């Protein structure tokens, strides 16, 4: 199965009203899709997210010429080389080659990995809570309320980008919606110091519905995370930007996190991602993949969770949820798979078990003009 050609699809959408987190506001959503086609006619799709001019040039001038003529079955070696050039590009190639191998055997991705432990996976609605409006809290509350009405029982909101008192007022209003039926995640995007992060525990002790506290501190300091973890009454999660399974080890060895959050695009591909999932199980902790940036990476995260043994022997404990972007992002519609009552059924067709919407792709092709990320 030689690689015959590679098609690229840089996609761009200008958001009607900017939204964001502690790192700033997003004005555009972008997505870079690739389709690898073999001489046998089998194909596979991959995805990454980065500054479109850079990633487009990298694929056309270096990655595509390198891949043409190679054997699609040499996935590990090919991805390892590309990872030295660009980690996210390697993730896209990894996805596409994995799908090709599954299709060649006429089996699903999960069957390629040995089958599933779960037929459906819970997801949580992931919000970018801030807007440029003076009334951002009311806008956020309305959006959260509407999303809960659609069947989501787990939600993630942003903190850390406003004054503590303002964020607290926001969270308290959300808790009034229906705290008994809703589970809440607070994501600070590494914006606090130790003292500020600890302020939240005054409220955590009265909130029984907090799933976890996400990245309150910079993740490059496992010792501080270990200290903070020992003083909080809720789990701590983090690690979305960590680039390999090996890089998670300092946090795991020092018992710094309750939940790790690898991202397929950041760890450089499917195989490193799956190694990280298994690493969490070896250390006896939970893992909830970060999958905000793309529909294919989210789908592979669902596959990974479906093929992962349970984290606990306790009866009734579910597999950990996967992130589901609910913000304005047309690329979420590239694949028709959607949650129902906060869960997603795992497709079992050959490859990823789903077709990408080619009309949507054509409608959002980037024209090469300059834009701000």
373 pLDDT above the threshold of 90: no
Give me the active site residues, please.
Answer: 158, 290
Domain-located, residue 142: yes
Strands in the chain per DSSP E:
3-21, 24-38, 43-48, 120-126, 130-131, 154-158, 183-187, 210-214, 236-238, 259-260, 286-287, 322-325, 343-345
| 168 and 35, same domain (yes or no) | no
- Rounded CA-CA distance 367/199 in Å is 47
Q: pLDDT at position 179, please?
A: 63
| 78 and 204, same domain (yes or no) | no
In the listed set 108, 137, 172, which residue is the last one of a domain according to the structure? 108
Q: pLDDT at position 95, please?
A: 98
Q: What is the CATH number of the domain that holds 91?
A: 3.30.390.10
Q: Which of 189, 191, 226, 186 is nearest to 204 (CA)?
A: 186
| 190 and 332, same domain (yes or no) | yes
Q: Which residues contact 182 (CB under 8 A, 6 or more apart)?
A: 148, 153, 154, 155, 209
34 pLDDT above the threshold of 70: yes
| 86 and 176, same domain (yes or no) | no
Domain-located, residue 25: yes
Tell me the average pLDDT across 4-14: 98
> What sign does the dihedral 297-241-20-200 (CA atoms) show?
positive
| 163 and 310, same domain (yes or no) | yes
Domain-located, residue 291: yes
Domain count, the chain: 2
Q: pLDDT at position 317, please?
A: 87
Q: What is the mean pLDDT of the chain?
A: 96
Q: What is the CATH number of the domain that holds 115?
A: 3.20.20.120
Domain-located, residue 370: no
| 141 and 231, same domain (yes or no) | yes
Domain-located, residue 149: yes
**Hey, is 255 helix, strand or coil?**
coil
- Rounded CA-CA distance 169/72 in Å is 53
| 162 and 303, same domain (yes or no) | yes
| 18 and 126, same domain (yes or no) | no
Phi and psi at 316, nearest 5°, equal: 90, -10
- Rounded CA-CA distance 280/203 in Å is 29
- Rounded CA-CA distance 66/358 in Å is 26
The pLDDT tens digits of the residues spanning 44-99 come to 999 999 999 999 999 999 999 999 999 999 999 999 999 999 999 999 999 999 99
In the listed set 68, 92, 108, which residue is the last one of a domain according to the structure? 108
- Domain residues for 34? 3-108
Domain-located, residue 67: yes
The pLDDT tens digits of the residues spanning 237-294 come to 999 999 999 999 999 999 999 999 999 999 989 999 999 999 999 999 999 999 998 9
The pLDDT tens digits of the residues spanning 298-319 come to 999 999 999 999 998 888 889 9
Q: pLDDT at position 178, please?
A: 79
Q: pLDDT at position 315, please?
A: 85
Q: pLDDT at position 149, please?
A: 93
| 143 and 290, same domain (yes or no) | yes
102 pLDDT above the threshold of 80: yes
Which whole-number Å values give the CA distances from 297 to 242, 342, 354, in the listed order? 16, 18, 14
| 141 and 240, same domain (yes or no) | yes
Phi and psi at 101, nearest 5°, equal: -65, -40
Domain-located, residue 334: yes
The pLDDT tens digits of the residues spanning 199-246 come to 999 999 999 999 999 999 999 999 999 999 999 999 999 999 999 999
| 85 and 125, same domain (yes or no) | no
The pLDDT tens digits of the residues spanning 329-362 come to 999 999 999 999 999 999 999 999 999 999 999 9
Tell me the average pLDDT across 184-195: 98
| 128 and 102, same domain (yes or no) | no
Tell me the average pLDDT across 320-327: 98
């Amino acid at each position: 199965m030689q690689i015959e050609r590679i098609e690229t699809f840089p996609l761009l959408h200008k958001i009607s009203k900017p939204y964001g987190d502690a790192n700033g506001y997003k004005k555009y959503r972008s997505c870079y899709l690739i389709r690898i086609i073999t001489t046998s006619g089998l194909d596979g799709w991959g995805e990454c997210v980065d500054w479109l001019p850079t990633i487009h040039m990298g694929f056309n001038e270096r990655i595509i010429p390198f891949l043409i003529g190679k054997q699609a079955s040499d996935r590990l070696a090919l991805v390892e080389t590309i990872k030295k050039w660009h980690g996210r590009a390697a993730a896209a190639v990894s996805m596409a080659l994995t799908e090709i191998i599954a299709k060649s055997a006429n089996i699903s991705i999960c069957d390629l990995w040995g089958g599933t432990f779960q037929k459906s996976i819970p997801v949580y609605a992931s919000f970018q809570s801030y807007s440029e409006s003076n009334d951002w809290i009311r806008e956020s509350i309305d959006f959260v309320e509407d999303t809960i009405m659609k069947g989501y029982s787990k939600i993630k909101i942003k903190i850390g980008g406003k004054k503590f008192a303002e964020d607290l007022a926001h969270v308290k209003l959300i808790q009034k919606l229906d705290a008994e039926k809703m589970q809440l995640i607070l994501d600070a995007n590494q914006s606090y110091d130790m003292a500020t992060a600890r302020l939240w525990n005054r409220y955590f002790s009265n909130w029984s519905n907090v799933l976890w506290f996400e990245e309150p501190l910079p993740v490059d300091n496992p010792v501080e995370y270990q200290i903070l973890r020992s003083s909080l009454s809720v789990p701590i999660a983090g690690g979305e930007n960590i680039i390999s399974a090996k890089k998670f080890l300092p946090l795991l060895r020092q018992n710094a996190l309750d939940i790790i959050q690898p991202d397929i695009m950041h760890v450089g591909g499917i195989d490193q991602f799956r190694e990280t999932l298994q690493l969490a199980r070896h250390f006896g902790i939970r893992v909830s993949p970060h999958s905000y940036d793309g529909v294919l990476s989210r789908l592979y995260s669902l596959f990974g969770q479906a093929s992962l043994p349970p984290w606990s022997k306790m009866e009734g404990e579910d597999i950990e949820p996967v992130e589901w972007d609910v913000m304005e992002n047309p690329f979420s519609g590239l694949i028709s798979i959607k949650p129902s009552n906060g869960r997603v059924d795992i497709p079992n067709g050959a490859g990823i078990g789903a077709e990408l919407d080619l009309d949507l792709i054509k409608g959002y092709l980037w024209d090469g003009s300059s834009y701000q990320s």
